[in-house]
Amino acid sequence: MNNPKALSVWHKSKEFVKEIYLITKKFPKEELFALSMQLRRAVVSIVSNIAEGAGRNTNNDFAHFLDIAQGSAYEVETQIIVSFELDYINNDEFTFLNNKIIEIQKMIHGLTIKVRANKN
């Protein structure tokens, strides 16, 4: 069992949740239960699955939850693109968010490789 709070990807993902929540507050009201809610759920899923996986007893289980977190990260990336294309976020916000999610994806990928290589 690992402590998720010891993982830099957990911290970065947790901070990203706050950034997404702040950005989606500015979305149009008709998006409250559509894109903004889906984006919020997906971004929370990233950090939650990292934490849940870290709390499991085997590295295989941890890697499985990292795979789920990675899927959510790609979902978030897609939703950021859609938000930009719908003009819900501007170019600077898009660049900032897109760079952050790509960094998180890379961190999850690296951690997954490390966890899978460490058999237990």
Reading the chain (120 residues) residue by residue, the pLDDT tens digits are 689 999 999 999 999 999 999 999 999 998 878 999 999 999 999 999 999 999 998 999 999 999 999 999 999 999 999 999 999 999 999 999 999 999 999 999 999 999 999 976
The CATH class of the 8-117 domain is mainly alpha
The answer to whether 23 and 89 are in contact (CB under 8 A) is yes
How much is the pLDDT for 32? 78
Contacts for 34-43: CB closer than 8 Å, 24+ residues apart: 35/79, 35/82, 35/83, 35/86, 35/88, 38/79, 39/76, 39/79, 39/80, 39/83, 42/72, 42/75, 42/76, 42/79, 43/13, 43/16, 43/17, 43/72, 43/76
Q: Where are the domains of the chain?
A: 8-117
How much is the pLDDT for 120? 63
